[in-house]
Amino acid sequence: MAMTPDELIDTSMMLIVHSGDARAAAFHALQEAKAGNYEEAKKLMAESKKKALEAHHIQTGLLTDEGNGEGPQVNLLLVHAQDHLMTSMLAQELIAELIELHEKKADK
């Protein structure tokens, strides 16, 4: 059964929340790495990945519904939510590389 407009709003907002939490944890991890706190940075990146996974599960549910012919009517909020997810995933990838560089630089 297709989502109601209210369900789509709730789903989109949860996608935004989890993606935002993932992005925030990743940037916090970068700050910790810059301060030389690599273990804390790794914990924060793990937290970031966990939040991103929650967002990814929501996205997968939407894609599954779409594949079953029950996808939601796309609206600007859903597009915005997808944008949040993609930018947080990109931030995670780049921040992981930056943390690695900081750690290697500190070892020299």
37 by DSSP, 3-state: which? coil
Spot the catalytic one: 18, 56, 57, 80: 80
What amino acid occupies position 91? A
76-107 vs 38-67: helix axis angle to the nearest 10?
Answer: 150
The whole-angstrom separation of Cα 14 and Cα 31 is 26
H-assigned helices in 1-108: 5-34, 38-67, 76-107
The whole-angstrom separation of Cα 66 and Cα 29 is 35
80 is catalytic: yes
Catalytic residues, which ones? 80
